[in-house]
Amino acid sequence: MSSVAENVNDARVVLEVSGLVKRFPIKGGLVRHEIGQVHAVEDVSFVVHEGETFSIVGESGCGKSTTGKCVLRLIEPTSGSVKLDGKEFTTLTGEDLTRERRKMTLIFQDPYSSLNPRMTVGDIIAEPIDIAGIYATREERDARVEQIMEEVGLDLAFKNRYPHEFSGGQRQRIGIARAIVMQPELVICDEPVSALDVSVQAKVINLLKQLQREMGLAYVFISHDLSVVKHISDTVMVMYLGHEMELASKEELFGNPLHPYTKALLDVIPRIRSERVQDKRILEGDVPSPTNPPSGCCFHTRCPFATDRCKSEVPAKHEVTPGHFCSCHLYDN
């Protein structure tokens, strides 16, 4: 294991999620009773340390965004526990919830719909501090806004402009400025670069890394783009149909993937060199519906190594090597 990961493991735990479950009811029929459930997140557990980037990867609809929103309680989790700084977060209400929630923020995927078109850039960035009422005078507040704008690389002249005048990358910087203005401990980045051009992606990723160094932020980085994940993460969790498939440090996961699903995902990263095309394992079929997930291991319908056991028994999460977890019957013993 690399020294970075070791350092990370010694650091303070910021976020501890255990057994997180989210099921959305499907209502129908004459009296609108519950006729089914969407199994969005099924028993997900992980730990995020101070200054760590924890990535959640998976295909569209695998529950990675829902996991992020459940942590923030933008969506209330069905069950499970979320501990922020060692304190249970899921049971908080009212003022307590507001106060604790200020330690976490969210950076959104779409830089176009995440900024109010009728507010100036300065007001957008200042909104969290305005709500919290941190600064007594207008001057102090404006000074803080300007300081943050400089930190994220926005020209101070943009303060009184409106979001529609900016490009995607600049808008994302505004979103980042709004997210960090309250000095959070944990930032949940919900696909923050997938709506941007590749050249702009790099700039935004580097900005995120720089802010992490300067402010000691912990990131939960949600993405489907493995090359971005490889660049930014310390620890990576792979999700499929709401289930946790594999969790390991970045080096372990990319160097020694265990789960057949992870292997398949890594195989389809586009490469310049074409030697490996021969033994590429491309998954067949589609992701099953989360309203009616497969029995046993949820991946057995597409897994090349599936056995009868996989069809009936849900695999438990095993620590195969220290710090490398995998939910697969292949590594049971």
Partner 1 sequence: MALLRSDAKDPKTQDAERVARAASEAAKKSRKSSESYWQVSWRIFRKNHVGVFCLGIVVLLVFVALFAGLIAPFDPDAIELTNRLQGPGGSHLLGTDELGRDILSRIIYGCRISLSVGVVSQAIALFIGFFAGVIAGYFGGKVDTVISFVIQVFSSFPFLLFAIVVMFVLGPGLVNLYVALGLLMWTTTARLVRGDVMRLKESEYIQSCVLSGGSSWRIITKHLLPNCVSTLIVTSTLGIPNAIMSEASLSFLGLGVQPPTSSWGAMISASQPYIQVNPTYSIATGVAIIITVMAFNLLGDALRDALDPKMRS
Residue among 161, 276, 281, 311 that touches partner 1 (CB under 8 A):
161
Six-digit token string for 218: 């912990």
Residues 16-35, one symbol each (x = binds partner 1 by CB under 8 A, - = not), give --------------------
- Compare residues 134 and 314 and give the one whose CB is closer to partner 1: 134
HEC readout, 51-66:
CCEEEEECCCCCCHHH
Using DSSP's 3-state secondary structure scheme, residue 44 falls into strand
Is residue 113 near partner 1 by the rule CB under 8 A?
Answer: yes
Is residue 180 near partner 1 by the rule CB under 8 A?
Answer: no
Is residue 168 near partner 1 by the rule CB under 8 A?
Answer: no
- Compare residues 72 and 266 and give the one whose CB is closer to partner 1: 72
Is residue 314 near partner 1 by the rule CB under 8 A?
Answer: no
Q: How far is the CB of 202 from partner 1 (least distance, A)?
A: 23
Contact segment (CB under 8 A) with partner 1 among 156-164, 208-216, 223-231, 268-276 equals 156-164
Q: How far is the CB of 111 from partner 1 (least distance, A)?
A: 9
Q: How far is the CB of 40 from partner 1 (least distance, A)?
A: 17
Is residue 103 near partner 1 by the rule CB under 8 A?
Answer: no
Is residue 102 near partner 1 by the rule CB under 8 A?
Answer: yes
N residues, the chain? 333
Q: How far is the CB of 140 from partner 1 (least distance, A)?
A: 18
Instruction: Judge contact between 82 and 44, C-beta under 8 A.
Output: no
Please state, in angstroms and rounded to a whole number, the distance separating the CA atoms of residues 193 and 202.
9
Six-digit token string for 238: 């792979």
Q: How far is the CB of 192 from partner 1 (least distance, A)?
A: 12
- Compare residues 164 and 276 and give the one whose CB is closer to partner 1: 164
Q: What is the DSSP letter of 282?
A: P
Please state, in angstroms and rounded to a whole number, the distance separating the CA atoms of residues 164 and 112.
8
Query: Contacts with partner 1 in 45-74 (CB under 8 A)?
Result: 72, 74
The Cα-based distances of 309 to 296, 305, 317 in angstroms read 8, 11, 16
> How many C-beta atoms surround the C-beta of residue 321 within 10 A?
13
Is residue 125 near partner 1 by the rule CB under 8 A?
Answer: no
Q: How far is the CB of 132 from partner 1 (least distance, A)?
A: 7
Q: How far is the CB of 34 from partner 1 (least distance, A)?
A: 16
Amino acid at 314: V
Size of interface with partner 1, in residues (CB under 8 A): 30
Q: What is the DSSP letter of 220?
A: E
CB pairs under 8 A, 24+ apart, for 71-78? 71/15, 71/17, 71/20, 71/104, 71/188, 71/220, 72/101, 72/104, 72/106, 72/188, 73/97, 73/101, 74/106, 75/22, 77/20, 77/21, 77/22, 77/41, 78/21, 78/22, 78/23
Torsion of CA 193, 199, 205, 211, to 10 degrees: -120
Please state, in angstroms and rounded to a whole number, the distance separating the CA atoms of residues 205 and 160.
26
Instruction: Judge contact between 207 and 236, C-beta under 8 A.
Output: no
Contact segment (CB under 8 A) with partner 1 among 22-30, 128-136, 203-211, 243-251 equals 128-136
Is residue 101 near partner 1 by the rule CB under 8 A?
Answer: yes
Q: How far is the CB of 263 from partner 1 (least distance, A)?
A: 34
Is residue 108 near partner 1 by the rule CB under 8 A?
Answer: yes
**Contacts to partner 1 by CB under 8 A:** 72, 74, 98-99, 101-102, 104-106, 108, 110, 113-119, 124, 127-128, 131-132, 160-162, 164-165, 178, 182
